[in-house]
């Protein structure tokens, strides 16, 4: 076991330790917030997909009615309407997926930013602590 003598006061050492603790608390808080937001986002996405599918199914069920009433059910016009319906449905699903992915990307970048800020804060605190220790050690060395 080695013997360690700090060149800074216990109060200063405590301040640096408290700064590191605060940085860790901030990081964990931000990670928890992002995880919660990801959960909400996933739930909201599931609900949005369900609602979209319900609407699309109702639209599809109602589509033949006007063509049957107009007597053009077996025409190419109805087939064109089905094609437009299918394209619109795929486009809507794609837009829902893209929105979900964009929001998830924002959460991921938020987590990365929080981790970068934590690392920078810790590096700064250690750097300041070591600089303070070195300054005092240098002054002590000059006295001896």
User: How far, in Å, are 3, 71, 78 from residue 65 at the CA level?
Assistant: 89, 10, 10
Tell me whether residue 6 is in a domain.
Answer: no
Residue 133 lies in a domain: no
Q: Do residues 111 and 31 make contact, with C-beta atoms less than 8 angstroms apart?
A: yes
The answer to whether residue 57 is domain-embedded is yes
**For residue 5, what pLDDT is reported?**
53
Q: No. of H helices and E strands in the chain? A: 2, 0
Q: Give me the tens of pLDDT residue by residue for the chain, a chain 144 residues long.
A: 454 555 788 899 899 999 999 999 999 999 999 999 999 999 999 999 999 999 999 999 988 888 787 778 788 888 899 999 999 999 999 999 999 999 999 989 999 999 999 999 999 999 999 888 888 877 777 676
Asked whether residue 130 is assigned to any structural domain, the reply reads no
Give domain status of residue 8, yes or no: no
Residue recorded with tokens 């080695």: 2
Identify the domain containing residue 112 by its residue range: 17-116
Number of domains present in the structure of the chain: 1
Token pair for 70: 């107009």
């Amino acid at each position: 076991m080695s013997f360690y003598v700090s060149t800074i006061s216990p109060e200063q050492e405590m301040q640096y330790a408290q700064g590191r603790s605060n940085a860790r608390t901030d990081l964990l808080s931000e990670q928890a917030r992002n995880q919660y937001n990801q959960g909400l986002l996933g739930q909201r996405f599931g609900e949005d997909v369900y609602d979209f599918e319900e609407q699309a199914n109702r639209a599809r069920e109602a589509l033949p009615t006007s063509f049957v009433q107009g007597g053009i059910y077996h025409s190419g016009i109805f087939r064109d309407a089905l094609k437009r319906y299918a394209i619109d449905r795929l486009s809507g699903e794609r837009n829902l997926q893209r929105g979900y992915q964009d929001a998830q990307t924002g959460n991921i970048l938020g987590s990365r930013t929080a981790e970068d800020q934590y690392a920078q804060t810790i590096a700064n605190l250690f750097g300041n602590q070591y600089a303070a220790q070195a300054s005092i050690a240098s002054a002590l060395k000059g006295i001896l």
